[in-house]
Amino acid sequence: MFVRIRPRLGVMACLALLAFAPVSMADDIRGDVRVIDGDTIVVGGQRVRIEGLHAPELNEPFGQQARDFVIALLAEDDVRCVPNGRRSYNRVVARCFLVADGSDLAARLVAAGLGRDCARFSGGRYADLEPAAAAAMPLPGYCVPR
């Protein structure tokens, strides 16, 4: 005999809310790092979208170079990511810093010409670091402040 159990709607709603609950801003993320692309890394098993940065996708010009640049930076140092409480496509959004010197990972990519300031989410904090040649790298519409 087959018995079908129906969970209560309230329990399902609570589980759904927990799946999208923001990470506490006080909880820095640290741990082993794996680089997905120029603006997405996995830290301690948690997917992290680097706040305020647009880096090209791997199949776009400079995409592989951006990824390789982040790999090289993180091969020499540990990273500490500070979540802002938001999520983007199942990733925690965070500012990430190299532990040894405290430098901002997004700032390093932008200054190297391998990423762009995503002003809508950075407040323009990386704009002055962009070399003139970075203007050739397309900036997606979601980065433009509303």
Domain 23-130 in this protein, CATH class: mainly beta
Per-residue model confidence as pLDDT tens digits over 39-72: 999 999 999 999 999 999 999 999 999 999 999 9
More reliable by pLDDT, 29 or 145: 29
* Element housing 120 (H / E): helix 119-122
Backbone angles phi, psi at 132, to 5 degrees: -55, -35
At residue 138, does pLDDT exceed 60? Answer: yes
Domain range list for the chain? 23-130
Checking if the pLDDT of 131 tops 60, the result is: yes
Give the E-state strand segments of the chain in sequence order: 33-37, 40-43, 46-50, 53-54, 79-88, 91-98, 116-117
- B/e letters for 73-91, b = 16+ CB within 10 Å, e = fewer, are bbeeeebbbebbeebeeeb
pLDDT at 2 over 60: no
Instruction: Tell the residue number behind the tokens 């990386």, with chain if given.
Output: 126
